[in-house]
């Protein structure tokens, strides 16, 4: 008899995390989705696959990323002892490269000759274009027209790396529409194309696969914390759009009951307004992009536009494992507003000399709220999942500064 | 016997299936077009349920959804449209086609019940493979609705068995790998696949995607039990918006498609 005493065994064989997840895709794609699953199952238990992944993680990405004791931040708040997991030091400047390396190896293994991906802020697009340049695989990146405009440097980076950037004008021209268009391309080019999904979302096996590649973050954190403090941390904090950096940090700790896990959603103008991207705290269960999860939608099941100053969090859904962990109450989900994230962005930069991306600035905003209330022996780890170079234009505009 | 069965039995030629999006460009015009379809030659009518994120559709049907939603379309109104149509027409089968999220949000059990009461005969849900459709499959059976399965060029023999299990009404053969209203299928390519499917089932096969002109219709009618025209009609709706009589324009188009059979 199977006994469930772990939160780390999901999804089941059909890709369900409790009632969430699954494979809600057009029939044309089903045989391919099943073959991705077979290839992934095979790769997962193949040591040579992991040897190649780990070699690239070490020498190309630059792993392990440091676990940094943020002394100035700790002293500033006078409460919890604060550590940063420095995934912003990875090649390409964010955690996205972890699952891009993993997936490009899988695509190669499957004999796929073309890669497509969606991108919002451009980070996942840049990471995908990077690994495609490394492995000499042609790639097409779908990006909303609105995002192309507000993330021009990343568009240029992708092009330099040899990617074709295809502009998506349907809908509001943001991440959701880019994902729709990538799905349309995939169904049309099903025979030779691999869709390199950029977060723990989409149809099974993508949420589990991306989580597995990203859980290198949590595994390293566990080892590094044992080395530095001789015990597990008390609290882990990560920002959530689709949820890949948070899932990667949290998953190795899910069964460690003493570790509080906090996911920070993008509250935009506030979760009580109609301009936010908090799918869990402000959305309802639904089905889109191949998965059952939580979405921002109206009472008729029409998906609503998300809003966040951070293009990487500007998505009206969330990965299905987060939906399940939310229902299980294993992870606490909170939200912070654009304004709070902007203040946190400035504070982190000044205190630590680290310019964070706007995504982890959301996590840092929550740190600023709880750190002062916690005792000095409370150890808190925040995932600093991306660097802020890409965001300086957005921030300058918000601050009314012309650069 | 269901309306769909009756239709296939009574016709001594392949059936013409026409698609329009509910509420496109607005509720009244859409109803007026719907009412005109049977006399113009539509044997079965597919009505698209508008959705914000129609991932299996090309630009024509995407824009139809956008027009309908902008005019306030919703699931209740779609069912209301069918109910009104049924006041005058009790013979022409109506199949609702769309995506699972609006149905899931409405409530699967409640939706199938309300759809049957409104006079709907079948459902096609494009992003719901058999792996995920157990709840809808049970609910459609309970409410005498046909759950129409999609078979595609990527469907192999092993998968075909899974798709035929629990399929009813007719089978919808997606003739291309791609989205609606784009490329046209090559008859010689799909002919052997249709023959292979026919050797496993007695259900009628409707062929759809990329079928635009009377010539396309005549072509596909050689191998299909029904031929579906969707994007070409919806595209004509978009162009007809500039004309005085939208209904008349669609009627003329459907008459010409029908005369090819």
Please name each of the domains of chain A with its CATH number: 26-57+96-210 (3.40.50.1100), 63-94+215-398 (3.40.50.1100)
Contacts of residue B12, defined as CB under 8 A and 6 or more positions apart, other chains included, come to none
Within-domain flag for B135:
yes
Q: Which residues of B are catalytic?
A: 46, 57
Please indicate whether, in this complex, the C-beta atoms of A301 and B51 are within 8 angstroms of each other. Answer: yes
- pLDDT given for residue A259 in this prediction: 98
Strand order in the sheet with B122-125: B146-147, B122-125, B94-98, B44-48, B15-21, B226-229, B205-208, B171-174, B150-151
The 8-class DSSP code of residue A390 comes to G
Within-domain flag for B259:
no
Residues B239-257: tens digit of each pLDDT: 877 777 899 999 999 999 9
Please indicate whether, in this complex, the C-beta atoms of B55 and A303 are within 8 angstroms of each other. Answer: no
Could you identify the residue written with the tokens 């199949």? B95
Helical (H) or strand (E) element with B234: helix B231-240
The CATH number of the domain holding residue B84 is: 3.20.20.70
Residue B124: give the domain boundaries. 3-254
Interface mutation target, options B96, B132, B182, chain A, most CBs of A under 10 Å? B132
Q: Note if the bond before A64 is cis, omega within 30 degrees.
A: yes
How many CB pairs below 8 Å do chains A and B form together? 117
- pLDDT given for residue A4 in this prediction: 63
Within-domain flag for B261:
no
Please indicate whether, in this complex, the C-beta atoms of B155 and A287 are within 8 angstroms of each other. Answer: no
What is the token pair recorded at B180?
A: 């609606």
Give A-chain residues touching B76 at CB under 8 angstroms.
Answer: 300
Could you list the pLDDT tens digit for every one of the 261 residues in chain B? 999 999 999 999 999 999 999 999 999 999 999 999 999 999 999 999 999 999 999 999 999 999 999 999 999 999 999 999 999 999 999 999 999 999 999 999 999 999 999 999 999 999 999 999 999 999 999 999 999 999 999 999 999 999 999 999 999 999 999 999 888 888 999 999 999 999 999 999 999 999 999 999 999 999 999 999 999 999 999 987 777 789 999 999 999 999 999
pTM: 0.96
Residues A352-361: tens digit of each pLDDT: 999 999 999 9
Within-domain flag for B260:
no
Which residues in chain B (102-161) have CB-CB distances under 8 A to chain A? 102-106, 126-129, 131-132, 149-156, 159
Please indicate whether, in this complex, the C-beta atoms of B69 and A302 are within 8 angstroms of each other. Answer: yes
Give B-chain residues touching A186 at CB under 8 angstroms.
Answer: none
Q: Note if the bond before B185 is cis, omega within 30 degrees.
A: no
Out of B132, B150, B178, name the one closest to residue A22 (CB).
Answer: B132
3 state SS for A230-264: CCCCCEEEEEECCCHHHHHHHHHHCCCCCCEEEEE
Within-domain flag for B23:
yes
Region label for A381, one of left (φ > 0), alpha (ψ between -120 and 50) or beta (otherwise): beta
Domains identified in chain B, total number: 1
Dihedral angle of Cα B47, A293, B158, A110, to the nearest 10 degrees: 120
Please indicate whether, in this complex, the C-beta atoms of A31 and B129 are within 8 angstroms of each other. Answer: no
What is the token pair recorded at B112?
A: 């199938």
The answer, for B177 touching chain A at a CB cutoff of 8 Å, is yes
Out of A23, A171, A180, name the one closest to residue B129 (CB).
Answer: A23
Residues B181-228: tens digit of each pLDDT: 888 888 999 999 999 999 999 999 999 999 999 999 999 999 999 999
What is the token pair recorded at A274?
A: 């109609």
Q: Which neighbouring-strand residues pair with A140?
A: A116, A164
The answer, for B47 touching chain A at a CB cutoff of 8 Å, is no
The answer, for A188 touching chain B at a CB cutoff of 8 Å, is yes
Interface confidence (ipTM) of the complex: 0.96
- pLDDT given for residue A403 in this prediction: 85
Within-domain flag for B247:
yes
Within-domain flag for B14:
yes
What's the start-to-end Cα distance of chain B, in Å?
Answer: 25
Report the residue of chain A nearest B133, measured CA to CA: A24
**% of chain B with per-residue pLDDT over 70:** 100
Within-domain flag for B169:
yes
């Amino acid at each position: 008899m199977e006994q469930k005493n772990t939160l780390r065994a999901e999804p089941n064989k059909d890709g369900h995390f409790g009632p969430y997840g699954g494979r809600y895709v057009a029939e044309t794609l089903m045989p391919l989705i099943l073959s991705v699953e077979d290839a992934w199952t095979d790769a997962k238990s193949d040591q040579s696959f992991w040897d190649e992944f780990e070699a690239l993680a070490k020498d190309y990405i630059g792993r392990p990323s440091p676990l940094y004791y943020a002394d100035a931040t700790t002293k500033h708040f006078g409460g919890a002892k604060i550590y940063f997991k420095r995934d912003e030091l990875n090649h390409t400047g964010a955690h996205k490269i972890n699952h891009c390396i993993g997936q490009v190896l899988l695509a190669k293994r499957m004999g796929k000759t073309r890669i497509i991906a969606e991108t919002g802020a451009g980070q996942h697009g840049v990471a995908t274009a990077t690994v495609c340049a490394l492995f000499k695989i042609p790639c097409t990146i779908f990006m909303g027209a609105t995002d192309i405009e507000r993330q021009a440097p990343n568009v240029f980076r992708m092009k330099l790396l040899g990617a074709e950037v295809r502009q998506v004008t349907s809908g509001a021209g943001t991440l959701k529409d880019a994902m729709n268009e990538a799905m349309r391309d995939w169904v049309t080019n099903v025979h030779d194309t691999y869709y390199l999904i950029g977060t723990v979302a989409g149809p099974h096996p993508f949420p589990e696969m991306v989580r597995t590649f990203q859980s290198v973050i949590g595994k390293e954190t566990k080892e590094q914390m044992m080395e530095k403090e001789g015990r597990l941390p008390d609290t882990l904090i990560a920002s959530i759009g689709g949820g890949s950096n948070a899932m990667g940090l949290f998953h190795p700790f899910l069964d460690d009951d003493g570790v509080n896990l906090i996911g920070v959603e993008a509250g935009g103008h506030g979760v009580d307004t109609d301009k936010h991207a908090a799918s869990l705290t402000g959305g309802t269960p639904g089905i889109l992009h191949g998965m059952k999860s939580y979405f921002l939608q109206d009472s008729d099941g029409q998906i609503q536009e998300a809003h966040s100053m951070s293009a990487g969090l500007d998505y009206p859904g969330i990965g299905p494992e987060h939906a399940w962990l939310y229902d299980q109450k294993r992870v606490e989900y909170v939200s912070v507003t654009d304004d709070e994230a902007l203040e946190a962005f400035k504070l982190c930069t000044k205190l630590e000399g680290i310019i964070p991306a706007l995504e982890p600035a959301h996590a840092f905003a929550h740190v600023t709220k709880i750190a002062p209330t916690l005792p000095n022996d409370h150890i808190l780890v925040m995932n600093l999942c991306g660097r802020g170079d890409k965001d300086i234009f957005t921030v300058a505009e918000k601050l009314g500064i012309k650069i | 016997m269901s309306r769909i069965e009756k239709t296939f039995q009574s016709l001594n030629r392949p059936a013409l299936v026409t698609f329009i999006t509910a509420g496109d460009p607005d509720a009244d015009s859409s109803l007026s077009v719907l009412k005109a379809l049977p006399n113009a030659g539509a044997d079965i009518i597919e009505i698209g349920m508008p959705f914000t994120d129609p991932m299996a559709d090309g630009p024509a049907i995407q824009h139809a959804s956008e027009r309908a939603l902008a005019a306030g379309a919703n699931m209740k109104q779609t069912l209301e449209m069918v109910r009104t149509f049924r006041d005058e027409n009790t013979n022409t089968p109506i199949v609702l086609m769309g995506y699972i999220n609006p149905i899931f949000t409405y409530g699967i059990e409640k939706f199938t019940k309300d759809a049957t009461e409104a006079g709907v005969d079948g459902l096609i849900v494009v992003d719901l493979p058999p792996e995920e459709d157990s709840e809808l499959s049970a609910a459609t059976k309970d409410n005498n609705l046909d759950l129409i399965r999609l078979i595609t060029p990527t469907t192999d023999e092993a998968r075909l068995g899974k798709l035929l299990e629990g399929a009813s009404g007719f089978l919808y053969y997606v003739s291309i790998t791609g989205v609606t209203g784009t490329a046209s299928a090559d008859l010689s390519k799909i002919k052997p696949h249709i023959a292979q499917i026919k050797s496993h089932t007695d259900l009628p096969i409707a062929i759809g995607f990329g079928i635009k002109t009377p010539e396309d219709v005549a072509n596909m009618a050689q191998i299909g039990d029904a031929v579906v025209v969707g994007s070409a009609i919806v595209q004509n709706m978009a162009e007809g918006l500039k004309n005085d009589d939208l209904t008349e324009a669609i009627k003329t188009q459907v008459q010409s498609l029908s005369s090819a059979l």
